[in-house]
Structure 1
């Protein structure tokens, strides 16, 4: 029993010492040295405590006294480590980008500016597999050619542009051969590895059977189907049109011209405005016309210009459709002139504002025709108004004008200042647009009091060079047997012709 108690006591002490040793020593390295037979030494086990191992940080501090713990990299430290680079201004960067931009080689008239023509020399190098040169031959290539072969009219190598292309192509081939010989590792693609047909069309065939079964499952009826709402645009009863022109004609004659004459400058002004109404069987036409023709008068010692044609006219025609293109009409016409005109080298006044003026009313019928053609911009407008019963009132507010140019002498030989004429009248208007640039306007007026005849025929040909410029040929003929004849031209027929060029506008 005593032996057992002693052994148990030593065993407890041994366990206590082992636990204490485990708490104090965490790492016990064991170094074993091999046996050296020559020296006669046996294997030796050396035990070292970890506290006796040298500290790595302490050892480094001993070797390098300036050693410090590493500092994390921040923006300030990065600025010290990064070298300053030379930066260009935004203006210089923009100019360089514009200079190297390949799209700038195309002008503004090129539509597809994003399509670039790239030299194949600057693309990835492609191995074509042509080992032998193109000019390598082993026979006479001209042996089978005819004895006589005409020379080309213009060889390709004589054309400067084509010659430059051949030189550029030869340079590119030479560079490709050089890379192929000296740097074969730069080739990444071969011509044989490229896709030959990127997109293949697939044809879909559908078999059509003649005995396709048609099955009607339900009777279809359209009794309950509502029709779509019909769109009726708002109708315009009032329409308008306007035409304006300012034409200039110039004639220069030198003082030593062998047939004499004088230089002159003509200014022709024309304004026409029309405002119409049409609804059902009623049609109303309102027009305003202003026409002036002024020219220089070098032979007139009292004034520098003269007025050859002057008209201010307001006209209204009210019609009620009788049948087809015929209308019962009531016509109203007021006309006078605006500017004053005088005889040459005299203060005798020929006409002026409301000197004279005339008002004409009439009852009759009117024929109205509007025709269009298959040709574009070609149209015809024609109307004629026949008034079997018309009345004209003519008066002048200035009695000092030359009355024999406007009024008919009475039976006693005096000239009146007021006239009342009862008779009939006819007026026809033609507007023919021949094509987009040429048009013809014609207007004929005829009035009679069965003792006096007045006729006026105006023709104007317009040649439009552009939207705003045109040339006009104007011819006016007037017949009036109720006024005195001129000493220079013994006839009742009066003629006025003018060729001019200038501004023209129409809508």
Structure 2
């Protein structure tokens, strides 16, 4: 938990100092509607008993006197807290409190046909119920950087190279078991590195990246998980008594094709749909077997202070096997499965 708090504080300080190195940050009351700054970020809750949630957004760079800045920025920070308490409530219930912290930091450089996009996303949620230990409800850490040069003057297509990094900040458990972690920082961790072409509409409501040359590296820096072959790495070799003869590998490299898409569209006056899709297939192992990572959200504007959100997150990776408990109590490989997370929330948003 300390690692998460320190990481949040560190990234906040870095994002502020990075922005100020190019000029003073100024709050803007009304700007256009680029992809990452259409109003405050909608907040995700599994409870409608919302105490408060706050969004701090800065989205324009003010150049230094006498100089022109080619950098654009978006800083979005969200904090949501919900609580339910019961005293002599004859219908029953459990006291609980939950929180969700989100960060979305974007830096974009444009000059003479060059374009450099950088994005850092971090989300972390916790829940505490009476009689239970503190539990994690959300944990995503992602860094994306792409550099491109336009194919022709004023073209929406760019020759592009992209680097992305994904992991989580703290250990995850298969609750109620809190003794044996099933994931942690860099277990797994993913790095994508590739070159291709990127299409970006002028208003940035639609982006498409095609990379036929992409290396995917999977890291499992927990030897126990690596020995079990978690997340697709090579498992340990054991003798008949279960003793380890050769340790499992802590990394795996793949070479394939990557397609990503980011889309945002207002479908009604107060409703915006946001989609983030990533598709990857390895050339060498089971080509055509596609890893899918798709987030789809419907964001509703209730008024200037309230937002609602309905969303889903779907993942499928053939290398990730679901562990099941057999009738005799042993753990067996249940094969690959579609992973689904559904979200429904309503909250109060304050934009500064």
TM-score by length of 1: 0.45
Match status 1:473 vs 2:310: yes
Q: In the alignment, does 2:278 pair up with 1:445?
A: yes
Distance 2:270 2:258 in 1: 33
Q: Match of 2:133?
A: 304
Aligned runs of 1:389-408 on 2, under 5 Å? 389-401=213-225, 404-408=229-233
Task: Show the counterpart of 2:339.
Answer: 494
Relative to 1, partners in 2 of residues 1:252 and 1:479: Cα closer, same or farther, differing over 3 Å? farther
Q: Could you give the per-residue CA deviations for residues 21-61 of structure 1, whole angstroms, max 9, x where no partner exists?
A: xxxxxxxxxxxxxxxxxxxxxxxxxxxxxxxxxxxxxxxxx
Query: Which residue in the other structure is 1:418 paired with?
Result: 251
Between the two proteins, the alignment pairs up a number of residues equal to 261
Question: Whose RCO is larger (CA < 8 A, sep 6+)?
Answer: 2
Aligned pair partner of 1:274 in 100, 106, 113: 106
Aligned residues of 1:485 and 1:491 also touching (Cα < 8 A): yes
Q: Residue in 2 aligned with 1:345?
A: 176
CA distance in 1, matches of 2:249, 2:279: 22
Q: Using the TM superposition, give the Cα deviation of residue 308 of structure 1 relative to its aligned residue in structure 2, in angstroms.
A: 3.7
Matched residue, 2:75: 242
What do the CA deviations read for 1:463-500 (whole angstroms, capped 9, x no partner)? 23344542222311111111112539976111111212
Name structure 1 gaps, 5 residues minimum.
1-232, 372-379
**Alignment counterpart, residue 121 of structure 2, candidates 289, 293, 303:** 289
Task: Report if the CA contact (8 A) 2:161-2:196 is conserved.
Answer: yes
What's the counterpart of residue 295 of structure 2? 458
Larger Rg: 1
Deviation at 1:404, TM superposition (A): 4.8
Decide whether the 8 Å contact of 1:407 with 1:417 is kept in 2.
no
Residues 297 and 459 of structure 1: CA distance in aligned 2, closer, same or farther (over 3 Å):
farther
- 1:325 to partner: Cα distance: 1.2
Contact 2:229/2:235 (8 A) holds in 1? no
CA distance change for structure 1 residues 252 and 447 in 2, over 3 Å: closer, same or farther?
A: farther
TM-fit CA distance, 1:446: 1.4
Q: Deviations over 1:113-168 (max 9, x none)?
A: xxxxxxxxxxxxxxxxxxxxxxxxxxxxxxxxxxxxxxxxxxxxxxxxxxxxxxxx
1:123-134 mapped onto 2 (5 Å cutoff)? none
TM-score, structure 2 as length reference = 0.63
The answer to whether the 8 Å contact 1:387/1:424 transfers is yes
Higher helix share: 1
Of residues 319, 339, 344, the one that matches 2:148 is 319
Q: Deviations over 1:196-221 (max 9, x none)?
A: xxxxxxxxxxxxxxxxxxxxxxxxxx
**Counterpart contact for 1:335–1:357, Cα < 8 Å:** yes
Q: Is the 8 A contact 1:443 1:458 kept in 2?
A: yes
Specify the SS of the correspondent of 2:197: strand
